[in-house]
Structure 1
Amino acid sequence: MSTNDYRIVREAAGVYPIAAPLIHLEGDERLALLDTFLSKSSDFADPDTTREALALRADGSPFALVLQVEGDEDTWLIPRTPITDAEVTEYVGALEIPEGVSVTVAPEGWSAVAVEGPLAPRVAENFVDGDIEDLLLHSVVDVERESDDGQGRLARVGTTGEYGYLLLTTDGEADLAQFVELATAVDGGAVGPDGLARVRAEAGMPYYDHGFATLSVAEADLSWIVDWERIGEFLGSDELVRPAADSPKLTPVVTAPGTRIAPGAPVIADGERIGTIVWTAAAGNDTEELAFALLDDPFVVPALDVTIDEVTAVTVTLPRVLSRSSAGASA
């Protein structure tokens, strides 16, 4: 990968199109439909806000992590994890759609573009009236378009721990080009998937790029995104198991720069196998290599020396890098 992509997301503003299929819902009972398959209740899904939720399979395994963008009269779902149009269409086709509700996968004419990095506000500010700082995290605002039939909605939301904004638009090609032009002006630009994946992994969000493998909700450390106290069943809820203190858990490990380990490799401590490597993060940060292992209890602790295919490694905490956005680097 180009380490410049990593630098752009960490230091400037990285622009990328959303590749996942968009899902558009309309109708008065659309929130009732969402309650049948999302892991969070729609009781607190207010207009002009965003939130993330899991869509589960009937067996309780995660199907997709989605961003819900709520409007006054419609809802957008944007998959955050790798998924195809065909998989989404099949999933939606198995749902019981209430009368008067429409669900459209990959609606014609619509797309989405995102920008993330400490200087991302310098890009997004060109799409709003007033101060970009007035757009709060997880909030959504309509974007005025030059054409009478153009539409757009800007959300302050990201995936990397740096500042992030996502634009839903009917002028995707032009908006993507403008995003790139504005980002280039602050030493940023378009970025590929590897640079984003590395920053996301360092923030503790590897599943955005890797999916879920065969992990359960608890093993993937995604129990925080399940509303365990909600009233009523939803798809897969009967099969969900609350995480226990002694459950295997996803744990980050690092190795020396230039050493690469493979998914599936055993993790050894004091001659005993204690887990398995699930994902390895993309390169980009030349100070260390990063991977994620599913480790048994009681080995889910930081600073544990382990061996992976004869490579020395150590368990660590997240985030691996303090975001510049948290230090107010957008000024």
Structure 2
Amino acid sequence: MCVICGCGEAEVRIDGAAAHTDQVHEHVHADGSRHTHDHVHEHPHDHAHEPAAQHSHAPGIAPSRRVQIEQDILAKNKAYARANRQLLSGHGIFALNLVSSPGSGKTTLLCKTIERLHQQTVAVIEGDQQTSQDADRIRATGAQAVQINTGKGCHLDAHMVGHAMAQLQLAEKSLLMIENVGNLVCPAAFDLGEAHKVVILSVTEGEDKPIKYPDMFRAASLMLLNKIDLLPYLSYDVDAAIAYARRVNPGIKVIQLSATSGEGMGEWLAFLNEGIAQARAARQQTVADLQARIAQLEAQLQARAD
């Protein structure tokens, strides 16, 4: 199993195609003794897989060895995340990593968001352990979607996302939404190359989720408090939920909304449009800087020739 988060040995599938993963395997012998070893599947391209996250005990691995493997896995993931981020930045694409517990309403929110972003091109990467149901729902809106099935894995990593991005026809200056596997623990540790992590908390969950799962809320730039249309039927303390989130992350932005009723969706769409505009502006500035540098070098070469 995965040394850090305990993800089982399962084949990752991206829209039905198998993708190998790096895993730490445990063997139990007839005498009851155990040992573990890494199985690393190398590829000729610039990606490798490391589905793992933090804070778990791997039987048979000494603490120092476990820490070293964890550091190696996360370091490799960061390298792939940088590559993803550079690709996205180079095309002016605004990318978000949507994280939450199962049942928070991520997919419904995505569908309603796509329907309301009439003038924007949106692509989606869907992460689930099994089935393509969520990706099918996204495709029904007319948006591109790639499904990643992680098997027993409990989160997406940057390598999986890099492969999925290669299957999408990502438009210049567009929006990429990554719906992570429903889990408030492991996805906190894995940078996918996104501009922001957006954590979705439903009012049907406990107000204290932010202090029970602080790493996720600390890693997020934005918290969407979803399903507020249900508040009249629940005993839910909105102020307490927001206060808990800001206890662990004082800078977190909070938007209260309902994907079903549409309340608060305007503020969410404004956030998205601002991010898209900033990604476009950053790309244009990068192009302008490169053009200026090329002109400068050409002038220097001309001066030397004269």
TM-score under structure 2 normalisation? 0.26
Q: Judging by fraction of residues, say which structure has more helix.
A: 2
Give the TM-score of the pair, scaled to structure 1. 0.25
Choose 1 or 2 for highest CA Rg. Answer: 2
**Which structure has more strand as a fraction of its residues?**
1
Instruction: Report which structure shows greater RCO (CA 8 Å, sep ≥6).
Output: 1
